[in-house]
Structure 1
Amino acid sequence: MGLKNVVIDAWSWLNYKPIFSDPTLGMPHRRAFPEAHATWVPAEDERRLSAYKLLGAYDNNQAAELAELRDGPSARERREYGDPSMFIDTLVAHVMGREQHIVVPGAEQTDADNETAAAAAERVQDLLREWAEDELLPMRILQCERKAVGLGDGVYLLAWDPDKQRPRLKTYDPGFYFPVIPEDGDGADFPERIHLAWELPEDKARGLKPRLRRITYEMDWIGPATASGVDREGRPVRAPVMADPTDDSPAVPLIGRGDQVDSSGGISRLYPWNDRPTYRTCYLTDATWDLGDLKAHHDVDNLPAEHARYATSSFGEVLDRLDLYVDFIPVVHTPNTVPPAEEHWGQSSLAKPLQVFDELVSTDTDAARASATTGLPMIGISGVTDPKQQYGVGPGTVFKLGETGKLTTIDTSPALKELRARSQELSDRAANVARLPAVSLGTMDPSKVPSGYALELSLGPLDSLISGMRLARAHKDMLLLRFVQRLFLAGQHPDWAGITPLPAKLVRGPYTPTDKGAVLEQVTTAYQAKVISLETALRMLTEAGWPIDDAEKEIEQIQARSFEDARLLADALGNAEEVANFLGRKAPETRQAPAPNLPPVTGEDDEENPLAEQPEGSGGNE
């Protein structure tokens, strides 16, 4: 009966655009999104990849260029002034905060009863911060957040580098990310198999055809040990390592070092971060295929193995189901928002106000056209001697008119003024929909803010927005730092020998203007009233933007000058060693008080004290 099928999914907010949801086919335009319609792309990912490209076009002021493929050359005349990009940059700055700190709970504690646990937490925290500095973690986070806020999803990849002896962190475009989510599984669960795939263009200089590269991480049962080799066609592959045959037994596959075989034939392994053995490991495969070898019935998850060409790592290992000796997939998917129940994907921050941006583009285009007629006014001339003569308007121009001749000008400035007002109205509308107050965008005059309390109330929508976005990232940040610790242990780095991985957090700094004086007053009052600890006080000051790099060292410096507190501690404990540890100094070697040095006895003292000792030869009282 010709009924229309209304699609509601994670990207249905783009259905209003004909280029994304063709009225006749109900699918993205093939000429605009050829990558999404490649034979190797699964059907369920076509709308996602098309949405990423469309959102990227808005971010780069290329939405008109993309619309030209369907609407014709007239679409290129639209004006795009970077409003979506400004919104993305603003949200990225807010969700990241002014600074980022890695914190291991317990590292700042000074409780003498838990010195061992505090020292272990401090050690892990120092090592993670050292890794973050070497790996330029803030820059990597910024790269991922730019993708997550603009496209809705970001992807981290961790890999152990044997040359640099540390885990390397890399960010990927979410359009390369293809998780295999079971149909009966929960989209919020961690996938058991993840592909990172993209096309490589033709290289005529090297004689290479268009290719598809796919990097696969897969959790599977631990198998026998393998080694690099070649097949009959000379292609690099991995093959099982076989034991030398004997007269009594044929050659059998060998198991990896440290692996154990149980009575049922299963192979188990005890990882440094687990308390009991596990039967699972992560395998890495990196291969390429010629696009001509891929048929319509093949997608990214079932590419033909007979046409694959496996890569070789820098340390000589063929990447064909290479055992990574870890029980996790070192890929972290970061959604921009908390996904709906049983969903996997986040939502772009441009999703809700996108139609407002389209209206804003149309208004800006009309305003640009109106400004041309305002700067060069239209003039009507009547009563000229030769109606066919053409006239130009410019300084010093003289028009010869007849007896009834006159000049008539058309003023288009009122229309331009209305268009500018309309543009401002749409900008405010987009900010309201995106929950970005004018003060956060920097478009509000500070002198018009009546009070600090009014400013704080105006930031309420932004607070709820950033809280939700940071909530979506909190677990992913902890997962990333957990994977870093495990990769250090798997790589057998000497500094991590004997260390047990601990939960670590990535603390993001404040994103709104902070009254440091008010925070200092609150912290001082609460600390003097003994309702918060010194550790909590310093953490509050750090979050308010005070330049405290290392809270533990700051505590040591404060205590080293707290002589009044040290005196009270000495009166309470009577232990010089405890007081010296509190001040960060060495206790004196003599622990007993010296003998008192009394003044010499005089005659006046004898008269006042009749029991005083008499000198020798004295006959006593006379």
Structure 2
Amino acid sequence: MGLRNLLTDAWSWLNYKPVMASTYDGRPHRALAPELQATWLPNDAVRRLAAYKLLAAYDSNQAGELATLAGNQAAAERREFGDPSTFVDTTLAHLLGKTQQIIVPGAEHAGDDGASPETAAAAAVQQRLRDWGEAELLPLRMQAAERRAVLLGDGLYLLAWDPEKGRVRLKTYDPGFYFPVLEDDADPGDYPCRIHLAWEIPEDSKRGLKARVRRITYEVGPVAPATRSNTDTSEQAGRHPILDEAGMQALGLGDRYVPEAGHIERTYPWAPGRPSRTTCYLTDAEWFLDDLRHGQSLDDLPLDKAHFRIRPDGEVLHRLDLHLDFIPLVHISNTVDDGEHFGQSTLAKVMQALDELAETDTDSARASATTGAPIIGLAGARAEVDRVTGRPKPLAVEPGTVFQLADGGRMDVLDTSGQLAELRARVEEIRERASVNARLPAVSLGTVDPSDVPSGYALQLSLGPLDSLVDSMRLARAHKYALLLKMVQRIHQAGQADGWATGEPIAARIVFGPHTPTDRTAILDEVVKGVTAGVLSLETGIRMLQDAGYPIEDAREEVRRILSRRDGAQTPRLVTPDVPKSDEGKQAV
């Protein structure tokens, strides 16, 4: 009967867009992204990539242009004033806070008397991770990856060892290149055992290069005998097993064959007492589109047609053993995983409101045109005649124009200022609805006059939805960043970097700064009273001041300074001076 199917998935909130479900099978319109029709793309990734393209169009004020390509000619006059980008940037700013700091629990007590070796090790790891984060521009990388996660729903980090720099390199990827191989019966929290990063490289006629597909594959599998790079007679790069003097396949350095189990074991530096049977293999290759048959998906591209890439040190990237028992790639989802593996964009719930807002802005622009240059009707005026055509010339209304009207003549002006006022009120109504549904209160968007807020308590209540939004987004990322820092430690151990001892990595996390304005005076007074009364430790008080936004970089060093000055100046306790009520903000420790 030609009925459309009801699609319910992680991107079904875009089903109302004609470009997202233009066919009965749910495949998007060709105008949305012609490359989505490529035969090598997995079918389950088409809608996800189409959603990414549509969200990117909204972020760059190109939604009207995209609708025009899909056949809606009226969308060419669409007004887009950057509201989606504002929502994304505001959410990102509140998510990350003012600061992002690497914290290892227990490191703040390293300077205490009788500190344990574990505490000293935690402080050393914390300092090394912070030095690494500074060298790799971690806050900048986080801004790039998290903005994609907030806008598109997903972000991507890739870690790789750089022997020249002697440290782990951090790189971000567009989630449109991310193609995990997910098992049908796998738990949503399980880490994929095979991940592809793939994209299409267009044809370059000037350089004589054909269109091709590049695929980078990370796969966890059993430890295999050692291999080396070589090139056969056909100049096709590859890897071949290394044979010993007896003609048997040689094992890698430190590997051990277990005859009774029939597998090879390897001991990694982060687990010296637990031999492992798995390792991660890296394959980086390209295929010409002409060599791919219709129906060959990304996961089963023919290896006999592959052109493997070669690393600068001469290693052929064909199942190269990375000597890691994990895939060094971290996927960030914007929302808590509910079984779809992928996250959901911040704009998902307000997409239709953003469309309505753009349409209302378009109507307001049209109404303002007729208000600024009103339509005028003249009766009894004599129009000048064009001597060439013999037709009356159109009348032009300019400042200082005088019309001579006959008896009974009149001038009527079409006043559209009332409609313009209603449209502007409608814009504010829709924007308020969108901010409520997106859990971004007007005060967080900067559209509220501070003088209109009756009290700080009322302001705190209005920020309640934003608090829950930020808490849920940070919860979805907490274990991912802990995993990233764990991988950083392990790869440094595998690369035998200086200062990184063997053993189980120490748990570390990234702490985001406060996302809302805090009453620093009240918190300072609370810390002073709590520390003075002995109900709060000095370390806890310093941590509270850090969370409130005070410029304290290292809590442990700050405690040491306070104690040293207190002992030297013979000030046995923290004192709150009596100050006038008007100088409450000048209290000091």
Q: Is the structural similarity TM-score above 0.5?
A: yes
Deviations 1:401-434 (A, max 9, x none): 1111111111111111111111111111111110
Output the CA distance in 1 between the equivalents of 2:135 and 2:212: 34
Would the alpha carbon gap of residues 303 and 23 (structure 1) be closer, same or farther in structure 2, given more than 3 Å must change?
closer
1:206, distance to aligned residue in structure 2 (A): 2.3
Structure 1 equivalent of residue 91 of structure 2: 91
Output the CA distance in 1 between the equivalents of 2:128 and 2:24: 58
Output the CA distance in 2 between the equivalents of 1:348 and 1:288: 31
Letter in 1 for 2:184: E
Structure 2 equivalent of residue 374 of structure 1: 371
CA contact (8 A) 2:32 2:53 kept: no
1:384, distance to aligned residue in structure 2 (A): 2.6
CA contact (8 A) 1:186 1:343 kept: no
Letter in 1 for 2:315: E
User: Is 2:158 the counterpart of 1:157?
Assistant: yes
Would the alpha carbon gap of residues 292 and 367 (structure 1) be closer, same or farther in structure 2, given more than 3 Å must change?
same
Q: Residues 425-436 of structure 1: matches in 2 within 5 Å? A: 425-436=429-440
Structure 2 equivalent of residue 597 of structure 1: none
Normalised to the residue count of structure 1, the TM-score between the two structures is 0.88
CA contact (8 A) 2:198 2:215 kept: yes
Percent identity, please.
55
CA contact (8 A) 2:32 2:54 kept: no
Would the alpha carbon gap of residues 385 and 507 (structure 1) be closer, same or farther in structure 2, given more than 3 Å must change?
closer
Q: Residues 316-327 of structure 1: matches in 2 within 5 Å? A: 316-327=314-325
Structure 2 equivalent of residue 336 of structure 1: 334
Alignment equivalent of 1:453, drawn from 448, 453, 457: 457
Letter in 1 for 2:65: E
Output the CA distance in 2 between the equivalents of 1:218 and 1:367: 55
- Structure 1, unmatched stretches of 5+, are 246-250, 570-622
Deviations 1:515-545 (A, max 9, x none): 1111111112222222222221111111110
Output the CA distance in 1 between the equivalents of 2:532 and 2:310: 63
Output the CA distance in 2 between the equivalents of 1:391 and 1:207: 60
1:514, distance to aligned residue in structure 2 (A): 1.1
Output the CA distance in 1 between the equivalents of 2:356 and 2:258: 67
Structure 2 equivalent of residue 285 of structure 1: 283
Structure 1 equivalent of residue 171 of structure 2: 170
CA contact (8 A) 1:380 1:407 kept: yes
Would the alpha carbon gap of residues 326 and 74 (structure 1) be closer, same or farther in structure 2, given more than 3 Å must change?
same
CA contact (8 A) 1:55 1:151 kept: yes
1:315, distance to aligned residue in structure 2 (A): 1.6
Q: Residues 572-611 of structure 1: matches in 2 within 5 Å? A: none
User: Is 2:133 the counterpart of 1:132?
Assistant: yes
Output the CA distance in 1 between the equivalents of 2:565 and 2:154: 49
CA RMSD across the alignment: 1.7
Output the CA distance in 2 between the equivalents of 1:439 and 1:72: 36
Deviations 1:427-483 (A, max 9, x none): 111111100011101110000000000000000000000000000000001000000
SS at match of 2:249: coil
Letter in 1 for 2:381: V
CA contact (8 A) 1:534 1:555 kept: yes
Structure 2 equivalent of residue 594 of structure 1: none
Structure 1 equivalent of residue 105 of structure 2: 105
CA contact (8 A) 1:181 1:187 kept: no
Output the CA distance in 2 between the equivalents of 1:48 and 1:4: 19
1:135, distance to aligned residue in structure 2 (A): 0.3
Output the CA distance in 1 between the equivalents of 2:256 and 2:114: 39
Output the CA distance in 1 between the equivalents of 2:506 and 2:383: 92
SS at match of 1:54: helix
SS at match of 2:565: coil
Letter in 2 for 1:419: L
Q: Residues 145-294 of structure 1: matches in 2 within 5 Å? A: 145-245=146-246, 251-263=247-259, 264-274=261-271, 275-294=273-292
Output the CA distance in 1 between the equivalents of 2:327 and 2:183: 16
Normalised to the residue count of structure 2, the TM-score between the two structures is 0.93
Structure 2 equivalent of residue 38 of structure 1: 38
Structure 1 equivalent of residue 66 of structure 2: 66
Output the CA distance in 1 between the equivalents of 2:140 and 2:555: 23
SS at match of 1:482: helix
1:500, distance to aligned residue in structure 2 (A): 4.6
Deviations 1:318-368 (A, max 9, x none): 11000000111000000001021x320110000000000000110011111
Alignment equivalent of 2:342, drawn from 324, 345, 361: 345
Output the CA distance in 1 between the equivalents of 2:539 and 2:38: 56
SS at match of 2:426: helix
Any runs of at least 4 consecutive aligned residues in structure 1 with deviations exceeding 4 A, and if so which? 110-114, 564-569
Q: Say which one has the larger Rg.
A: 1
SS at match of 2:81: coil
Structure 2 equivalent of residue 608 of structure 1: none
1:265, distance to aligned residue in structure 2 (A): 2.9
Would the alpha carbon gap of residues 567 and 466 (structure 1) be closer, same or farther in structure 2, given more than 3 Å must change?
closer
Output the CA distance in 2 between the equivalents of 1:42 and 1:240: 32
1:3, distance to aligned residue in structure 2 (A): 4.1
Output the CA distance in 1 between the equivalents of 2:167 and 2:383: 85
Letter in 2 for 1:489: Q
CA contact (8 A) 1:350 1:434 kept: yes
Letter in 1 for 2:566: S
CA contact (8 A) 1:103 1:504 kept: yes
Structure 1 equivalent of residue 389 of structure 2: none
- Structure 2, unmatched stretches of 5+, are 385-391, 574-589
Output the CA distance in 2 between the equivalents of 1:19 and 1:383: 52
Deviations 1:65-102 (A, max 9, x none): 11112234321110010000010000111101100110
Output the CA distance in 2 between the equivalents of 1:385 and 1:50: 59
User: Is 2:385 the counterpart of 1:384?
Assistant: no
Deviations 1:542-574 (A, max 9, x none): 1110101111111111111233999999xxxxx
Output the CA distance in 2 between the equivalents of 1:386 and 1:210: 64
Structure 2 equivalent of residue 610 of structure 1: none
User: Is 2:331 the counterpart of 1:358?
Assistant: no
CA contact (8 A) 1:188 1:343 kept: no
Structure 2 equivalent of residue 302 of structure 1: 300
Structure 2 equivalent of residue 584 of structure 1: none
Output the CA distance in 1 between the equivalents of 2:482 and 2:569: 37
In terms of mean alpha carbon deviation, does 222-231 or 529-538 score higher?
529-538
SS at match of 2:76: helix
CA contact (8 A) 2:439 2:466 kept: yes
CA contact (8 A) 2:5 2:24 kept: no
1:501, distance to aligned residue in structure 2 (A): 1.6
Letter in 1 for 2:410: K
Output the CA distance in 1 between the equivalents of 2:502 and 2:376: 87
Would the alpha carbon gap of residues 547 and 499 (structure 1) be closer, same or farther in structure 2, given more than 3 Å must change?
farther
1:232, distance to aligned residue in structure 2 (A): 3.4
Output the CA distance in 2 between the equivalents of 1:451 and 1:543: 22
Q: Residues 421-570 of structure 1: matches in 2 within 5 Å? A: 421-498=425-502, 500-563=504-567
CA contact (8 A) 2:197 2:217 kept: yes
Letter in 2 for 1:508: F
Structure 2 equivalent of residue 402 of structure 1: 406
Letter in 1 for 2:549: G
SS at match of 1:485: helix
Letter in 1 for 2:125: V
Letter in 1 for 2:204: D
Letter in 2 for 1:261: Y
Structure 2 equivalent of residue 50 of structure 1: 50
CA contact (8 A) 2:383 2:395 kept: no
In terms of mean alpha carbon deviation, does 448-457 or 389-398 score higher?
389-398
Deviations 1:10-35 (A, max 9, x none): 00000011111116553211232222
Q: How many residues align?
A: 563
Letter in 2 for 1:150: L
Deviations 1:100-142 (A, max 9, x none): 1101011012554542111100000000000000000000000
